[in-house]
Structure 1
Amino acid sequence: MFGQILIHLLFGGSLACLTSYFLGLRGRTEFIPIARNLYRGIAAGMLITFCLLMSIVISHSFEYTYVWSYSSRELPPWYLVASGYAGQEGSFMLWTLWVCLIGVVLLPYLKRRGWEAQVMVFYSLILVFLFLLLVVKNPFSYVWETFAKDGIPDGFAPPNGRGLNPLLHNIWITIHPPILFTGFAAMSVPFAFAMGAMLKREYQSWIEIALPWTLYGTAILGFGIMLGGFWAYETLGWGGFWGWDPVENSSLIPWLVAVGLVHTMLVQRKTGGLVKTNIILAVTAFILVLYSTFLTRSGVLGDTSVHSFVDPGKFAFILLIAFMITFAILGYGFVIYRRKDIGSKEESFSPKSREFTLSIGSAFVLASAIIVFIGTSWPLIAEIVGLPKIAIDPSFYNKMHLPLAIMIMIVNGFSLLIRWKATNFGGVMKKSLYPLSLTVVATAVSFWIGVHDLAYLLLAFGAWFSLFINAELALKIIKNKFSSSGAYISHVGVAMLMIGIVFTARYSIIDHIQLVQGVPTKALGYEFTFNGREQIEKEYKDREKFKFHIDVAKDGSINHVAPILYWHDFNKRQSPYKEPGIAWAVAKDVYISPNSIQTIGGEPEITMTKEQTIFLPTDSSIKMTFVTFDMSNMRNGGGKDGTIRPGAVITTERNGSKHTDTLYATISMATMEGKPDPLILPGTTQKISFLKINANKESLQQSEAVFSFMDTSKPLEPLKEVIGVEISIKPFINFVWFGVIAMVSGFFVAIIKYRKKAKREKKMIPVTPSPVSVEA
């Protein structure tokens, strides 16, 4: 109850903060300090509320619906903490918390520059909607409130929770979502700055003060996406780092727009052009964050994405749409309203200028965002127009992005050789001779080692060209001023990423093999030996988890990998979850994803339903029919030792002669397995045993019997396990990882540059914000 009250109070506080900033803008400047203090109080209250949520999760307070839905007593401490934000309500809490905390840092930054009221009025409006979402999707609701129609009594507390989805049982769940939601929250800042710029009618100065925050948001969001890709590759067994899943894409779209925004902001800062473009892109990036939230949490992609949340309820669904539409109308409507007022310098840039190439490069990045937007939204569009609701095939994205990627790489390389305003192309060609020479050599090597597809060879050429130019410039600048090298480091990362994609996405090779325990098997130039399995995490009773030990040998070198298959109560153990085993190497990875496990040798086993007929696997001349269960020995209940002694009535037919027999087994009531009493069919060497019952709790008639068979005249084959695996070779995958690390690191290096500048500005006398009429 206390948590629910806190959220309602915070919602009211956000409304009061918004109102106070609005009154401050109308000339009531005495309300601005009130709004500032209200905001700080809201941030502190949100931090307390989030800590309260974590406390009820950690203390196993299953009377709360959210805690019951996403946690359990079996969860290790780190997964228990992660369950606090793994569900819809918790993720909204985390997003709101980051918006609050970022605003605390933003406040003094704005106050010193005279932008507080103009920016914070829009930032506070974002918080109003977020808190309204929390009022509707409240993580402090009780189970008897949520399931009131089911007659749950007040005060009821389930003994345990449903637990966390096993796919999320990985250390990355503790890192990836907090980083990603920090990026989502940070993208609120450029939006608020752009809106404040239109309110303040200062269309040039906002670029300088908003650029560091745009870099920060882009860096953090990119870092979160990067971690998600590594998580998918390392632990989920999907065979790659990006699957073009609609929900994966939903966070990529605003990031691509933000990347384009960073570059167009640099153009405006240098030339004064692209004024409307930057305001529109800042608004669009934030709207796309809201759209991403809608796609992920509304349930509209539930049939087409493995990541989508379930339907949040009709009112929450409407609220998500209203959230998105309100800010779209507010943002784009304000741009239209100010369209004549937003002055801009001549935007017909010379083709020989850096601003031209930066603008072209940004246009290509934005084209990528449009492609991903259309593909991601297609299931929703298809449903609206009455077409089958299916996800776009990943090949669509690959084909559409290939020419864009080639152009982006080539334009990026040449843009750094061109000066602002105008450049002599003769000088550009002279500067490019050395990197071009290296590029030709590197492309030839790429062809020699297997890149023969013309389109991918062109992409390799463009990526090598961009890499060599950016690396050369970065090394020169790092020697003198490290903090100015951020852009070049990021571009090196993008080039490395493209090279990694050329080799990994296009030239990975795959094979499916069966590994028999103890038997070396050759595939893709390697020798694989399955040495057996090991049960892990035995202390948890809600799962059966096995690690499969496999040796990967080549040229005398042996690597050990251990893919995992496990069965979990979360899906009633109907199908296994899997984690890959990876033999890491500098030039390539050997990626082993387990698919199935079976047993060969020993006595073959067959599961049968009533009236089912089979031929004996050890003698195909004999037919056997499972007739029914014989429960006559169970009329007085089970034995004192917790066992029962059921029978299975069978008929066998051989050479036209039929026999009816009853096989018995002493079976544990706990496991439904036990010790059989074998039967040797008269006149044969065939032994049949009744092993266990696969009980159907709803109907005994639907229960199954498990039998084993043996030909006593032949030696018994030793019992061996066979694991079915998908083997893939990922050439130069490390280019992908080092590339994304360098790309994101470059943003942070650029932030350091602006951080130093901000520290110098602290020595300046604070500027008192001047009130601006909303009606101006």
Structure 2
Amino acid sequence: MNYTGEHLLPGQLGHFFAVLSLVVSLVATISFYKSNKAVLPGEKESWMRLAKGAFLLETICVVSIIGCIYYILANHYYEYKYAWEHSDNTMQTQYIFSCLWEGQEGSFLLWSFWHCVLGWLIIWRVKEWRAPVLTVISFAQFCIATMLLGIFFFGFKVGHSPFVLLRNEGILDNAPFLHDASGNLSKNYVELLYRSGGSGLNALLQNYWMTIHPPVLFLGFASTIVPFAFAYAGLTNKEHSWTKAALPWSLFSVAMLGTGIMMGAAWAYESLTFGGYWAWDPVENASLVPWLVMVAGLHTNLIYRHSGYSLKSTYIFYVLSFILVLYSTFLTRSGILGDTSVHAFTGEGMNQQLLAFLSVFVWLPSFVESNKKGKITVAIIIAAIILLTFLLPETITPSLWLFSLVGFLVAFGIQVNRDKNIPAIHREEDIYSREFWMFIGALVFFLGAVIIISQTSLPVINKAFNQKMAEASDAEFSYNKIQIFIAIIVGILTAVTQYLKYKQTPRAVFYKKIAVPTIIALVASLAISIFGNIDYDKKGIGFLVAIHIAIFAAVYSIVANAAYIWIGLKGKMKNAGAAIAHVGFGMVLLAILISSSKKEILSWNTTGVSPLQNTEESNKITGTPAENITLFKGIATDMGKYMVTYSKDSFDVTDRKKYFVLHFKDKQNGETFTIYPDVLRNTKGQEGFSPNPDSKHYLNRDIFAYVTSWIENNHAEDTAQFRPAAMQVGDTTFYSNGLMILKKVDVNKPDVKGARPGETTISLDLEVISKNGRRYPATPAIAILNDSTMRSLPDTVVAQSLVLNFNKILDPKVGKMEVGVKENGAITDLLTLKVLLFPYINLLWIGILVMVLGTLLSIRQRVVKLRTKPVVARKPVNV
């Protein structure tokens, strides 16, 4: 049947380029492999020309696929499932790219795009190693291309195409408004779909950070394949001078992946209700762990380049870093973390293929490293894993892959350790040598990564072993209580290691150089500990002591590395990349310690009103009701250090957010400021609304606030009834949140609310007292005209949701009156807010910038060395 309004050409072009991408990436893989293995220069160059041509065509295909998807999303062609699921009619232009990488297919495309960019940089900049390195990258492109096919092969679906039509997916079967009287899909269903508007983008992603954070993070992910590919090149060519060429790339990977992670932290700080920049969320951890291992590999690479030690460790760390990126991809995209992470992807029916893809790369280094018999064994293992991945139920395949991963780690570690082709020095390093403590630091980083990934993998372990192990009740502290000791060790090592020389350092020289920075750091850290009010004792005295030791380690790292620029490098900034990066690391560590241990909740509930539920699940997200203050529109409310007024709210049609205007007044110095937290209605993912925090930034602190609940009652239907209460002066009557006392009865009291000239008024002077002791005046009254016409003048206590009415006089002799009491939730709008104070948060962001700057300077230094000095093969050393 022909349907009117369908735009089939963009999808057909996109699918064509997806198929072509698969073919040319395989051609490129084979050609680069042949070029690497060819002996004759002419044959090597011939294969290289074919490989570069195929890689160029692959790049064109990837860019074209992205262009087709963007075109479909931007024009709201809802006949395509991808556009229907990830976009809507009112989507702002800047979020179209966010729509693209919200789905799995788009995120894989982003990954593939960065592989293309990195591949061309290698083609242009790396001569000796480009053939084996690009063999790995092209093979990764082939694997990613299979994820975008969406075709059936021997009864198994290979990949998931972003160009499938919605009508072919069975989704429209349950949409009667799209069908005609006979039950068939209407010919103009596209127009009807457009009117319905699309599913829209997850509210969490409708933030400017999400237009820049994912590309940078995925560049970091993609870049980890380059050191991995260099390690592959070394294994397959039995040549180990690759470590010098790989060094700038590993530095680049550390810089980009670290920047992406920190951008995610900034996004969390500005857009999520984490109550900060880091919450040990599983998706955060899945990004952090490969970075930690890459940092370990970078340092062992440096050790090998300067001393000949730690080459085997470099192989292991570079391979593991990329493998952990793949494992993190499985964790975040298989849906297995859906119950434990606020921003994990859900499964798209590609879990089994994803696991097969990961298995191939996991066992690739072992395949390369093995002899002929070993290659056959590994090939059988890979084939068996892929076959079982598709044949076994999807609930079992995570177990299969976990066992496969463990098997690989054991097999690869044993192979690398026994490989006689990898040079090794068997003499023990001197304890006063730089390489000894750098290696200790690398091991500590690796240990921290193992602990984090083990805890994060709890859902996988539960599935693999059919267990029901629960997370720690305080998940954040369960990480902090271990990682703080990792931070202490790393902080101290980054301080002292720079002052050691490779091979050996005279003790007297070392102690002489390190003495002054140590004394300065000790004095400075003691000053912070004594005068900085670091009194975080919620987790016991032991953890508080650890915080103070960590503060010393952080300050030590800053001071010692800053001093080393002048003591060790004589002020030569172009060679100070490592020291600057370590200064930035120390600043980040210090900022984390201070801002977290001195983080203060300002929004303690003083109104006695809270719409929040006091449940364990709710408290994990918003904190306890006592930590959230409820504000009534137009009423200044005491919030400890500040008086806060919920002034007004407005809806911005452009970004579809509801903004709340909150005025703060400092009770001590009278300073005023306004912040504008907002909420966005979530059409998918989490139910309800998604709050976006806002902050008042100072040089030394941030006042950070986000909405936890709001109720608009000004248009609500009034369904509550007045409850009569007989009272005379001195009597008390109760309501749900307190009591009220009739203090006196006034006749013709001035300024009675609502009274008109010429009326006689009788008013009741009531005092309302809430459970928390707050007192509110109320004066309901009766107005009487000369003709004895009587009307009621009710009064409201909006902070207690009360309407009070003077119903009638019951007995004038004893002064008994009837008061009508109505507890009405529709009196006014109210807003529940969580407000936090983050001290010295700017130190964190500055530290990140300094750390990235130092890493970029190190990259420049290594690139310059590569240009000026030829790569000399290092002979195996067996001592």
TM-score range, shorter chain: 0.7 to 0.9
The 2-side partners of 1:154 and 1:493 are apart by 61
Poorly superposed stretches of 4+, deviation over 6 Å: 476-479, 683-687, 707-710, 714-718
The AA in structure 1 aligned to 2:198 is G
Offset at residue 619 of structure 1 (A): 3.8
In structure 2, how many angstroms separate the alpha carbons of the residues matched to 1:81 and 1:329? Answer: 34
SS at match of 2:133: helix
Q: Distance in 1 between matches of 2:718 and 2:516?
A: 70
Structural mapping, 1:651-690, within 5 Å? none
State whether structure 2 residue 393 is matched by structure 1 residue 278. Answer: no
Q: Distance in 2 between matches of 1:487 and 1:538?
A: 48
Counterpart check, 1:594 vs 2:702: no
Match of 2:275 in 1: 239
Deviation at 1:308, TM superposition (A): 1.3
> Any residues of structure 2 matched to 1:236-315 within 5 Å, and which?
236-313=272-349
1:401 aligns with 2:483: yes
Q: 1:555 to 1:17 in 2, by over 3 A?
A: same
Match of 2:137 in 1: 123
Query: What are the within-5 Å matches in structure 2 for residues 581-620 of structure 1?
Result: 581-598=694-711, 616=721, 618-619=723-724
Secondary structure, in 3 states, of the residue corresponding to 1:725?
strand
Q: 1:69 to 1:444 in 2, by over 3 A?
A: same
Helix, strand or coil at the partner of 1:134 = coil
Most deviating of 720-729 and 189-198: 720-729
AA partner of residue 424 (structure 2): S
Which residue identity does 2:598 align to in structure 1?
Y
Letter in 2 for 1:538: V
Q: Distance in 2 between matches of 1:24 and 1:730?
A: 56
Which of 164, 167, 170 aligns to 1:147? It is: 170
Contact 1:144–1:154 (CA<8 Å) still a contact in 2?
no
Once the two structures are superposed, what CA deviation does each residue of 1:386-410 show, in whole Å capped at 9, x if it has no partner? Answer: 3336545121110111111111111
Distance 2:47 2:233 in 1: 18
Between the aligned partners of 1:449 and 1:552, the Cα distance in structure 2 is: 25
Q: Distance in 2 between matches of 1:197 and 1:743?
A: 30
AA in 1 matched with 2:364: L
State the superposition RMSD in angstroms: 3.0
Whether the 8 Å CA contact 1:517–1:531 is kept in 2: the answer is yes
Q: How many residues align?
A: 668
CA contact (8 A) 1:514 1:724 kept: yes
1:137 pairs, out of 132, 150, 160, with: 160
CA contact (8 A) 1:582 1:589 kept: yes
2:320 is the alignment partner of 1:212: no
Q: Which residue of the partner structure matches residue 594 of structure 2? A: 503
Aligned CA distance change for structure 1 residues 603 and 65 (closer, same or farther; 3 Å): closer
1:188 to 216, 221, 225: 225
- Deviation at residue 617 of structure 1 after TM alignment: 5.3
Query: How far apart are the structure 2 equivalents of 1:302 and 1:389?
Result: 16
Change (3 A) 1:426 1:357: same
Q: Which deviations, in whole Å up to 9, do the C-alpha atoms of 1:307-340 show, x marking residues without a partner?
A: 1111111xx2111111212111112454555622
C-alpha displacement of 1:246: 0.7
Task: Choose between structure 1 and 2 for higher RCO, CA contacts under 8 A separated by at least 6 residues.
Answer: 1
- Does structure 2 retain, via aligned residues, the 8 Å contact 1:304–1:391? no
Give the structure 2 partner of residue 385 of structure 1. Answer: 465
Q: 1:35 to 1:544 in 2, by over 3 A?
A: closer
Task: Pick from 664, 672, 682 the counterpart of residue 558 of structure 1.
Answer: 672
Q: Deviations over 1:4-49 (max 9, x none)?
A: 1110111011111112223334435332221122112211221222
Taking structure 1 as the reference length, the TM-score comes to 0.81
Out of 744, 751, 755, which is 2:852 matched to? 744
Q: 1:425 to 1:26 in 2, by over 3 A?
A: closer
Q: Deviations over 1:725-762 (max 9, x none)?
A: 1122112222221122211221111112233345557x
- Kept after mapping to 2: 8 A contact 1:274/1:347: no
Q: Of residues 199, 202, 215 in structure 2, which corresponds to 1:178?
A: 215
2:358 aligned residue: 324
Is residue 528 from structure 1 mapped to residue 643 from structure 2 by the alignment? yes
Gaps of 5+ in 2: 1-11, 150-158, 174-183, 370-411, 536-543, 605-626, 727-789, 795-800, 808-818, 874-879
Counterpart AA for 1:495? G
CA separation in 1, counterparts of 2:111 and 2:554? 36
Residues 104-149 of structure 1, C-alpha deviations (whole Å, 9 max, x = no match): 11113232xx222222222211111111112212212211233378
Contact 2:700/2:842 (CA < 8 Å) preserved in 1?
yes
Amino acid at match of 1:591: F
Counterpart residue identity of residue 421, structure 1: K
Structure 2 residue aligned with 1:75: 91
The equivalent of 2:431 in structure 1 is 351
Secondary structure of 1:616's match?
coil
- Among 533, 538, 541, the residue aligned to 1:450: 533
Identity of aligned residues (%): 30
Task: Quote the residue 2:580 is aligned against.
Answer: 489
In structure 2, the residue matched to 1:223 is 259
- In the alignment, which of 730, 742, 753 is matched to residue 838 of structure 2? 730
How many angstroms apart in 2 are the aligned matches of 1:264 and 1:215?
A: 12
| Partner in structure 1 of residue 522 of structure 2 | 440
Gaps of 5+ in 1: 608-614, 622-682, 688-706, 770-776
For residues 73 and 478 of structure 1, the distance between their equivalents in structure 2, rounded to whole angstroms, comes to 59
Residue 753 of structure 1 aligns with an amino acid whose one-letter code is: Q
Give 1:54 deviation, angstroms: 1.4
Conservation of the 8 A alpha-carbon contact between 1:463 and 1:495 = yes
Q: Which residue of 2 aligns with 1:567?
A: 681
Q: Distance in 2 between matches of 1:620 and 1:33?
A: 95
Alpha-carbon separation, structure 2, partners of 1:414 and 1:32: 47
Amino acid at match of 2:490: I
**Aligned pair partner of 1:162 in 199, 205, 209:** 199
CA 1:735–1:619: 2 relative to 1, 3 Å: farther
Q: Structure 1 residues 758, 91: closer, same or farther in 2, change over 3 A?
A: same
Q: Does 1:411 align with 2:493?
A: yes
Matched, 1:470 2:586: no
Could you report, residue by residue, the CA deviation over 1:134-191 in whole angstroms, capped at 9, with x for unpaired residues? 2212212211233378376799532132110111111001100000011111111011
Structure 2 counterpart SS, 1:175: helix
CA contact (8 A) 1:567 1:575 kept: yes
Cα distance in 2 between the residues matched to 1:155 and 1:275: 65
SS at match of 1:514: strand
Q: 1:397 to 1:110 in 2, by over 3 A?
A: same
Offset, 1:56: 1.6
Match for residue 103 of structure 2 among 69, 72, 87: 87
Task: Return the offset for 1:501.
Answer: 1.5
In structure 2, C-alpha distance between the alignment counterparts of 1:388 and 1:256, rounded to whole Å: 29
Contact kept, 8 Å, 1:599 with 1:719, in 2: the verdict is no
Distance 1:294 1:142, change over 3 A: same
Distance 1:569 1:604 in 2: 23
Q: Distance in 2 between matches of 1:4 and 1:431?
A: 64
Q: Describe the SS at the equivalent of 2:346.
A: coil
Q: How far did residue 363 of structure 1 move?
A: 1.0
- CA shift, 1:278, in A, is 0.5
TM-score by length of 2: 0.71
Separation in 1 of the partners of 2:630 and 2:803? Answer: 24
Q: Contact 2:587–2:847 (CA<8 Å) still a contact in 1?
A: yes
Task: Provide the rounded CA distance (Å) in 2 between the counterparts of 1:387 and 1:737.
Answer: 41
CA distance in 2, matches of 1:537, 1:603: 19
8 Å Cα contact 1:492/1:743 also seen in 2: yes
